[in-house]
Structure 1
Amino acid sequence: MPTPKKIPTQTFHVPGLTAKESATVITALQDRLFAYTDLHLVLKHVHWNVVGSNFIGVHEMLDPQVDAVRGFADVVAERIATMGGAPIGTPGALVAARSWDDYEIGKDTAQAHLGALDLVYTGVIEDNRAALDTVGEIDAVTEDMLIGQTGELEQFHWFVRAHLENSGGRLSTEGATTEVEAADAAREPQRRTARKSARKK
């Protein structure tokens, strides 16, 4: 997991944890704060830029996800402060610390954005589970918080993947390793349908 360039100075730590243990948890939480801040901006970007036949369904599906993830960021930031850290919420610090690139899809179809979001959610959830491994050995309170958030993220991921899955359980984005590849793969079933319709005419 990436860590901030500069770890916030602790002024105190919660009872029952050492300063070193608190610093480890704060570092993991700061990474989650960066990830959640980025994720809610990406989700809003998709909300604004989605077009096509499934526009309204996807447009309206994303706003509750934006609100929830924004709430996760606030809870994580306050947990950092509670533990004696200083949460970092500035854009420059996020860009400097993150291990991922900017979201690559602009104005595009619902399927293309959903394909790309499949990979975005996969990355965030995998990093959350890694953070759980780190904090679970130290702080059950933080672990419990992250478990709840991860469960909600996994449900949001399911909402996205349900649009990409066929009746046999196969994802149209299977094998894609970049957002652009995933978007292209998700578009392909629609292209095939459009070509068939054109041939019938």
Structure 2
Amino acid sequence: MATATTTSNASRHSRTDHVSHPAFRADAQFAGHLQRLLVDLNDLALQGKQAHWNAVGPNFRDLHLQLDEIVDAARTFTDDVAERMRAVYVVPDGTSARTAAQSSLPAFPGGEVRTGDAIDAIVASIYAVTGTAREIHDDVDAADPTTADLLHGIIERLEQLAWLTDAERREPETSVPEAIIA
């Protein structure tokens, strides 16, 4: 009897039985934009852990903890973007192969890395992610302002983390870019 019920339920849930009518569904360009951001965020999380494990030198402990914060943010945002993709009927691809092939982040150095060099590399990668988010923003916003709100949060937090991390290397009135005095 259980087999008949299982079979009956399986046939009731065939592909042609279910129809949804979402208010918004992504098109190919929108899907591609979110996939680009997903890949970059995934790579940022990986690079952050690489730096976390291999940075050595002055202020190591502070950087070690800061890198955990960056990784946590990148992982959270990766999940947020992937879940948003699913909500608008896009299938995310967060595989290592896709990430390695399509990330726009500069490569993170292998082996042990001096803390100052690790800071410079991870800040460059954070800015690469925010660059991707800013580049796709207007198209995403035109298609779906709700998803653009997600980008706003990502940009805001990652730029804050870049500033907090980069401040370790800055010198007053001599660093590039120069501070703007309001």
Partner of 2:109: 104
- The amino acid that maps onto 1:34 is V
Partner of 1:157: 162
Instruction: Give the drift of 1:123.
Output: 1.4
Instruction: Give the drift of 1:33.
Output: 0.6
Count of aligned positions: 159
Highest Rg: 1 or 2?
Answer: 2
Q: Secondary structure at the match of 1:165?
A: coil
1: CA distance between counterparts of 2:84 and 2:101?
A: 22
TM-score of the aligned structures, taking structure 2 as reference length = 0.80
- The amino acid that maps onto 1:53 is P
Q: Deviations over 1:23-72 (max 9, x none)?
A: 32221111111001000010011011111121001001111211111010
Q: Is 2:85–2:91's contact at 8 Å kept on the other side of the alignment?
A: yes
Q: Is 2:40–2:104's contact at 8 Å kept on the other side of the alignment?
A: no
**1:140 aligned to which of 123, 138, 145:** 145
- The amino acid that maps onto 1:145 is L
1: CA distance between counterparts of 2:98 and 2:20?
A: 23
2: CA distance between counterparts of 1:133 and 1:169?
A: 34
In terms of mean alpha carbon deviation, does 128-137 or 91-100 score higher? 91-100
Are the structure 2 counterparts of residues 156 and 37 from structure 1 closer, same or farther at C-alpha, using a change threshold of 3 Å?
same
Q: Secondary structure at the match of 1:137?
A: helix
**1:36 aligned to which of 41, 45, 55:** 41
- For structure 1, the residue ranges without an aligned partner over 5 or more in a row are 1-10, 175-201
Q: CA RMSD in A?
A: 2.0
Partner of 1:63: 68
For the pair 1:91 / 2:96, whether they are aligned, the reply is yes
Partner of 1:194: none
Are the structure 2 counterparts of residues 66 and 148 from structure 1 closer, same or farther at C-alpha, using a change threshold of 3 Å?
same
- The amino acid that maps onto 1:114 is I
Percent pairwise identity: 31
1: CA distance between counterparts of 2:104 and 2:72?
A: 24
- Structure 1 segment 119-198 matched on structure 2, within 5 A: 119-171=124-176
Instruction: Give the drift of 1:154.
Output: 0.3
